[in-house]
């Protein structure tokens, strides 16, 4: 793996599009990086168009999404730093499991297979998608009030409304039903399985928001602990009082700086040899 990289790939979460990274793209570009924010297949149209016709993404699968993102990353001249938010964190872990990326950061990550922690706030956050079995076969989203509880619970009502109107979309309900709360009831590997013991992978940092309702710190801590048998670096950092909207709520620059500084530090450490996970 390279000791340096000039490229960052930002992977958006569910109920979002690459637009959610708009501030991070310009922020990292100002630091001299080439920044890509690839869309999931079908998510590459405007937010407003997806709201009007979400059926175009209703049948999207996780394997197709991972394959698409892997093709983007594999086509780059150097191995990039990968940064994923929410379900983008799950996708980032799956990409790292394929041997991609020079370093990886997952922020408020949805869990990979085998993480069995389901706090009450997570259950409440996902209930709007799970309450109707028909959502398994269509794109489903949140109302403004549901979005505020799940995503923007630490900001004011007006800021939450503005975020909802600019960024929120429906998303494949099957992803929540298949890979969410019921994933561990399936007695076989799902598409969100990773080899937690793999040693020859990129270093991985979990960042959690202390006030995140939909992917609380306990979920991210548990996910990180699953990698404890690997000799590759796995670190964890928690920002107190920050919500699932941590990548855009006030103070997001501190999260962006921490993610990049950690990744660059990992690449610099390659010269002095590997270290154990924190």
Q: Where are the alpha helices (DSSP H) in 103-143?
A: 120-130
Distances (CA, A) of 251 to 108, 242, 245, 258: 16, 9, 11, 12
The verdict on pTM exceeding 0.85 is yes
Q: Where are the alpha helices (DSSP H) in 81-143?
A: 87-97, 120-130
Residue 185 confidence (pLDDT):
52
Residue 106 confidence (pLDDT):
98
Domains of the chain with CATH codes = 7-272 (3.40.50.1820)
pLDDT in tens, the chain (278 residues): 445 789 999 999 999 999 999 999 999 999 999 999 999 999 999 999 999 999 999 999 999 999 999 999 999 999 999 999 999 999 999 999 999 999 999 999 999 998 988 899 999 999 999 999 999 999 999 999 999 999 999 999 999 999 999 999 999 999 998 876 555 555 556 789 999 999 999 999 999 999 999 999 999 999 999 999 999 999 999 999 999 999 999 999 999 999 999 999 999 987 555 554 44
Residue 1 confidence (pLDDT):
43
Q: 278, 274, 201, 183: which is closest to 236 by C-alpha?
A: 278
Residue 178 confidence (pLDDT):
81
Residue 189 confidence (pLDDT):
65
Residue 269 confidence (pLDDT):
82
Which distant-in-sequence residues (6+ apart) come within 8 Å of 259 by Cβ? Answer: 83, 105, 107, 205, 207
Which distant-in-sequence residues (6+ apart) come within 8 Å of 163 by Cβ? Answer: 147, 151, 152, 155, 245, 248
Residue 208 confidence (pLDDT):
98
Task: DSSP for 47-90, please give it.
Answer: HHHHHH-GGGGTT--HHHHHHHHHHHHHTSSSPPEEEEETHHHH
Backbone angles phi, psi at 103, to 5 degrees: -160, 155
Buried b (16+ CB within 10 A) or exposed e, 45-61: eebeebeeebeebbebe
Q: How many whole angstroms separate alpha carbon 226 and alpha carbon 79?
A: 25
Strand 103-107, strand 34-36: pairing: unpaired
């Amino acid at each position: 793996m390279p000791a340096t990289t000039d490229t960052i790939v930002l992977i958006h979460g569910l109920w979002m599009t690459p637009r959610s990274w708009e501030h991070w793209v310009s922020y990292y570009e100002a630091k001299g990086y080439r920044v890509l924010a690839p869309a999931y297949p079908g998510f590459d149209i405007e937010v407003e168009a997806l709201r009007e016709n979400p059926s175009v993404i209703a049948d999207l699968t996780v394997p197709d999404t991972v394959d698409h993102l892997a093709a983007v990353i594999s086509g780059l001249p150097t191995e990039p730093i990968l940064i994923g938010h929410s379900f983008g964190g799950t996708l980032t872990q799956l990409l790292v499991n394929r041997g991609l990326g020079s370093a990886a950061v997952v922020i408020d990550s949805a869990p990979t297979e085998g993480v069995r922690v389901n706090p009450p706030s997570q259950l409440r956050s996902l209930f709007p998608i799970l309450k109707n079995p028909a959502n398994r076969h269509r794109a489903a989203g949140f109302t403004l009030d549901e979005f505020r509880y799940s995503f923007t619970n630490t900001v004011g009502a007006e800021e939450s409304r503005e975020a909802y109107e600019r960024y929120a979309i429906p998303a494949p309900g099957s992803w929540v039903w298949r890979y969410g709360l019921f994933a561990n009831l399936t007695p076989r590997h799902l598409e969100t399985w990773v080899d937690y013991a793999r040693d020859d992978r990129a270093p991985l940092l979990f960042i959690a928001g202390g006030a995140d309702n939909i992917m609380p710190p306990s979920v991210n801590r548990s996910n990180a602990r699953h990698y404890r048998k690997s000799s590759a670096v796995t670190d964890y950092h928690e920002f107190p009082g920050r919500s699932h909207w941590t990548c855009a709520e006030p103070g997001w620059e501190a999260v962006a700086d921490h993610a990049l500084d950690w990744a660059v530090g990992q690449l610099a450490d390659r010269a002095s040899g590997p270290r154990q996970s924190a």
